[in-house]
Structure 1
Amino acid sequence: MTFSFNVYIPLNFVVGQSITIQLKGQNSKATNLGTDNYNTLLGYSNYAVKQNDLGKTIRASFSIGTNGNYQSFDTALADTASITIRQSSNISGFVYSKIKLEKGSVATPYSPAPEDILN
């Protein structure tokens, strides 16, 4: 599974610092949503900002893994009660858009993939 998004990098951001993003899916049995004990899906991205990123919107993507209790992404997703996406740092000024979670290991354009179309 791939998680992708656009993010605007403010002009005043420090080159070399990272934008840290987390996606966490938790199952319906989770009693404490703040812990990692009930994860069904989990992924982190640490993107180091380059000089030519400042003042621009960039596209980023990363892979989402499943908890070891699930044999496939489909079974993990079926057991996922909530998905949280958060910036894991307290740096402000980023603007996120065009967020997409899709099957496969490669992010695709925003037209539906064949498996996304219901007959």
Structure 2
Amino acid sequence: MTTSFVIGAALGVVAFFGSGHLPSMSALSKGSPRPSAQRSYGPYRSVTNEKLWVRSAPNTEAEIAAEISPDASVYVTCWTSGETVSGRRGTSSDWLKVVSPGSGYASAAFLTVNRGDVPQC
């Protein structure tokens, strides 16, 4: 049996649907993968002095889907190639699929994650 659950991070609410065993609170604590259909990895950190934009596609022309605050915890599912961007971690064409906070792509030039830490999309 499986249990589906949703976490409302801003509200600190966990809602459970279905039947089966409920996850322990330690499984939901910081440092554990966030529940989703696809495995997520983190937390990693945003290394910006200002907000980092999460984009709808892996390039700076794509629509802004969300924003990440400086030094925020970030959870990702995978990396893909996109526009080359220069940032505090150097120059990179790697973009990470962000699942929290927000949803979309953020340049690896601004996050403390390396390509080998997560699978390719």
TM range (shorter): under 0.3
TM-score between both structures, scaled by the size of structure 1: 0.24
TM-score between both structures, scaled by the size of structure 2: 0.24
